[in-house]
Amino acid sequence: MSKKGENIYKRKDNRWEARYIKGYKPDGSARFGYCYAKTYREARDKLNAAKAALLKGAASAPNTRKRFGAYCEEWLILCRSRVKESTYVKYDAILHNHIMPELGGYHLSALSSVLIEGFSHSMLYDAELSAKTVRCILTVIHSVIGYIRRQDALLLPQNIEIVYPKENKKEMRVLSREEQQAFTAYLLTDLDDCKFGVLLALLTGLRIGEVCALRWGDISLPEHTLTVSSTMLRLKDYEADTSQKTKIVLTNPKSNTSARVIPLTEYAAKLCSLRKKNDPTAFVLTGKSDRFMEPRTLQYRLKRYTAECGMEDVHFHVLRHTFATRCVEVGFEIKSLSEILGHTSPKFTLERYVHSSMELKRDNMEKLAAIWH
C-alpha cells in the first residue's frame, strides 16, 4: 500500500516503486513513468527528480490532459474581436467542419508533422477538397499552434512542420470578345434593374457582393465615378432560431483596398443616366430602398441569363476576370487596373486576373514579326 497522497509502493521483491504521469496517449489515457529503489526515501527522491525534469521540459511530453480542440475554441474566441464578422464565420466553419472532427480529440503530445500531413492528405484525397481549401485549413491550424506556443512553449513537445499542398493553377473562364458582345446584346434587350447591374459589373469588374450592396447614391454622374463602400454577404447567424440559420449582412468591403472609386467610361455613365433612380438610397439591382437582391439570387439570375445565351460554366467572378482581361488587351496600366479591381498589389492582379487571349497573343507575335521583316 502506498503512503497517503503518494504513488510509492513496496513491491513483493522488497523494492520500492514510484509511479508518475509523464504524458497522455491520443485516446486520453495516461502514460506512466516508473522509478525503482531499495528504500522509500530513495524512491521518493527519484520521483521528485523525474517530476522536476518534466516541469523543465526534459521529458518528451507535457503533463497536460487538455486537448487540441480546447485550444482551437480558445483561439476562435480571441479572433472574434479582432477580425471581420465574415472572417470569423469562415474560421468557425473551418474549425467545426474539418479540424475539430479529425484533430480536436488529440492531446498535444500526439500532435506531430506526420499527423498533420496525414490529415492534409485525407482532406485532399478522401474528402476531395481543393488544394486552395486545404491550404486555408492548414493556415488555421498553424495559427492555433502559434497561439498554443504563445501560452507556453513547453506545451507542444516538438516543432511541427506544416506542408502546404501545391495549388495547380486552373485557367479561369473568360468570355471571348464574341461571347461578351452577344451577352451584352442579350442584357440590353428588355433591360431591367437586375440585367443592368450585371452589365455594370461587366463594365467595372465589381464583385458580386459589391453589386448587391450598390446604391444609386454611390454613382456620381457629374464626376463619372462609382464608389465601392460596402458589400453584401450571407453569413451564419449565431443567434438564429432553428428556422433561420443565416442572415444577410451589409458590411465594409473585403479589404482596405477594396473600398475604392472607379472611373466610369462614357458608355457606362450613359447607361447609368438612363436607369438612375431619384432615391439615392435605392439599391441598383432592385430600384427600391427597402428591397435588395442577395448574392445567391443574383447568381441564379446570371445562370439563367447565360443559359439563354448558350454559354456554359459562367459564374459571377467570370465577369470580373473578363473585365480585367479586356483592360489588359487595350494596354491598361497594371497598377491602375489593380486599384480599380481593389487588389492589394499589382502582382496579385497579374497572377490571378490577367488572362491573355489568343487574339492578344497573335497581336504581340505580329509586333515581334515586324522587327524581323
Give the residue from 371, 39, 248 showing the smallest Cα distance to 18. Answer: 39
Q: Which domains does the chain have, with CATH numbers?
A: 8-55 (no CATH), 68-151 (1.10.150.130), 177-226+263-366 (1.10.443.10)
Give the residue from 209, 184, 199 showing the smallest Cα distance to 295. Answer: 209
- State the pTM of this model: 0.69
Gap between the Cα atoms of 257 and 83, Å rounded: 16
Give the residue from 355, 359, 268 showing the smallest Cα distance to 318. Answer: 355
206, 214 in Cβ contact below 8 A? yes
Q: Tens-digit pLDDT profile for the chain (373 aa)? A: 445 445 788 888 888 898 887 766 655 566 788 889 989 889 888 888 887 777 665 444 444 567 898 899 999 999 988 888 888 999 999 999 999 999 998 888 888 899 999 999 999 998 899 898 999 999 999 999 999 988 877 777 678 899 999 877 677 888 989 999 999 999 999 999 999 999 999 999 999 999 999 999 999 999 999 999 999 998 877 765 556 688 888 888 877 888 899 999 999 999 999 999 999 999 999 999 999 999 999 999 999 999 999 999 999 999 999 999 888 888 888 888 889 988 888 887 777 766 665 666 666 666 666 666 5
C-alpha distances out from residue 346 to 202, 262, 325, 329, Å: 20, 16, 14, 16
86, 109 in Cβ contact below 8 A? no
